[in-house]
Amino acid sequence: MEPHAFTLYDVLARNAEAQRDDLALIAEDGSARTFAELRARVDALGSGLAARGLAEGDRVAVLAQNFAAYFELYLACARQGLVAYPFNWRWSVEEVERLLERAGARAFVADQSTLDKVPAAVHAVSNLAFRAVFDGAPGAGWIRFDDLYAAAVTPPPSLDATAPFAVIATAAVDVIPRGAVLTHGNVLASSAMQIGTMGLGPSDRNLLALPLFHIAALGNAMGILQAGGANVVMAKFDAEAAVELIDRFAVTYLSDFPPVATGVLDAAQKRGTRLPSLRFVSGLDHPAVMARLQQETSADFWTGFGQTETSGFVTIQRYRDLPGGAGKPGSLCRVRLVDDCDREVPAGTPGEILVRGPIVFQGYDGQPHVTAHTFRGGWHHTGDVGRFGEDGTLFYVKRKPEKELIKPGGENVYPAEVESVIMTVEGVTGVCVFGVPDPKWGEGIKAVIETGRTDLTLEAVRDHVGASIARYKRPGYVELTAELPRKDDGAIDRDAVKARWP
């Protein structure tokens, strides 16, 4: 192995060597592990995975809420060169099934809360090394996750930072979510940038409350690890419990997607605490929420532009630096704004946001043509549109029409997918789905439906959508019309729809 080689497991090993008795992981029940203990757990788990026949490059699918063991599994995968393939527990059985086919997983891990989402198909996958549950009693064909920790530790394979670490689902442009392949180097670079920009260190503690299948949760957890700090693991976000954990364990860092910050601020108010330990909240939220955080606590709201494909934030700033701004590119990336012909646009003019640097993902899993297109000209094309201020600050403008993503509570919802489901409702002849401001989730889903029917209710549409795809993809707003505006070629005129039904 080359002495330049360095992985996320090396980050853990470095901490176990340099900060052995510092806390690394704290569970909701208050039980905690030092870095030395965490490393011992990860060594045992990695060895156990190898003993079960998992080898470098194999994928491990995970469909579960957050557990300390889930975090350990990420690091054990990092140790063995396995690729973690986290699934969104909000997906429907059918979505899990479709992704399972694409993932080619060699192991499957679930928990009691997700077992009913596990498709029958998982039992038909012939080369599965094991099916394990994090908690509770395993049913037939399942083992306890705890039993995977081996008593005898075996050495890991030689790996370097170019090895893939995880495949994170992004957006279901073509019904099956695309999987962004992130390497160790991607996550290391993203964390280094975050540590440098925000000033994170060993005294920081992150509340790991967002789901670990999301880049915001995973990225911040790894960033805090790299900073030598501790992660406080919540199974699932709950505002009152979060406030209690923040105060009890002197949490300094919180990741936010609506309505996390609002919930935390409301609960803090109710409890009569100003969350004195909190220093950083990062994510995307309403300006009013960011301003409120500043008023009611001593924390700063860090916001910017980023996506799964860039391992997290590309540009970042404190809300108070320039309300409305998305910040400047971090020190390990470059950003260009271009028109549809990839020509750079001047400051002030909106253009597609292109990114280059070690934070850019390796491509979409199993989709080399899509990847090549996204990477054309040597820059990652984000599908998002922004403009630069004169001083180089990025302002977010909108998504490109062909990647018209809706982000309720940080999730990715593609209008095309929801539209294809609504089109199967009897009597529907056309539909246009788009994002609208939503007080709770930041962005809500609106469907304008062309139909002769007058009996179609919001509830009926929601039930129909929720029955076949994830519930977070259900529209929150529905309007019926006898005729949608169309262009000369018969395509729905989306801009006209949005203008008429804002």
Question: How far, in Å, CA of 455 to CA of 480, rounded?
Answer: 10
Rule CB under 8 A: choose which of 29, 116, 340, 391 binds a second copy.
Answer: 391
Return left, alpha or beta for 175; rule: phi > 0 is left, psi -120 to 50 is alpha, else beta. Answer: left
Subset of 217-236 contacting a second copy (CB under 8 A): 226-228
Residue 262: what residue type? T
CA distance 66 to 254: 15
The distance of closest approach from Cβ of residue 3 to a second copy in the complex, given in angstroms and rounded to an integer, is 4
- Judged by DSSP in three states, 182 sits in strand
Residues in contact with a second copy, total (CB under 8 A)? 50
Name which position in 156, 329, 410, 435 contacts a second copy (CB under 8 A): 329
Q: State in angstroms the smallest separation of the CB of 154 from a second copy.
A: 17
Task: Quote the CA–CA distance of 301 and 278 in Å, as a whole number.
Answer: 11
C-beta of 227: minimal distance to a second copy in Å? 7
Burial profile 218-233: b = 16 or more Cβ within 10 angstroms, e = fewer: bbbbbbbbbbbbbbbb
Which amino acid makes up residue 409?
A: G
**Residue 116 binding a second copy, by CB under 8 A:** no
Residue 338: count of CB within 10 angstroms of its CB: 16
Q: What is the 3-state secondary structure (H, E, C) of 7-41?
A: CHHHHHHHHHHHCCCCEEEEECCCCEEEHHHHHHH
Applying CB under 8 A, among 76, 187, 200, 445 the residue interacting with a second copy is 200
The smaller minimum CB distance to a second copy, of residues 376 and 453, is found at 376
**How many Å is the maximal CA-CA distance in the chain?**
69
| Selected range binding a second copy among 96-104, 190-198, 212-220, 396-404, rule: CB under 8 A | 190-198
Burial of 331 (0-12, 13-18, 19+ CB in 10 A): exposed
Tell me which of 99, 107, 188, 242 binds a second copy, using CB under 8 A. Answer: 188
Residue 25 to residue 475: CA distance in whole angstroms: 38
Q: Residue 59 Cβ, how far from a second copy at the closest point, in Å?
A: 22
Which of 2, 455 has the CB closer to a second copy?
A: 2
Choosing from 33, 59, 178, 380, the residue that interacts with a second copy (CB under 8 A) is 380
Q: Taking contact as CB under 8 A, which single stretch among the options 49-57, 194-202, 260-268, 425-433 is the one that binds a second copy?
A: 194-202
| 181 CB neighbour count, 10 Å cutoff | 20
Cβ at position 329, least distance to a second copy in Å:
5
Return the number of the residue (159 or 261) whose C-beta is nearest a second copy.
159
Taking Cα atoms as reference points, which of 441, 447, 455 lies closest to residue 90? Answer: 441
Minimum gap (Å) between residue 402 Cβ and a second copy: 19
- Tell which one of 158, 298, 349, 429 touches a second copy (CB under 8 A): 158
Residues numbered 40 to 69 that lie near a second copy (CB under 8 A) are none
Positions touching a second copy (CB under 8 A) are 1-6, 10-11, 13-14, 17-21, 158, 161, 185-186, 188-189, 192-193, 195-196, 199-200, 226-228, 328-329, 331-336, 355-358, 360, 362, 375, 378-380, 391-392
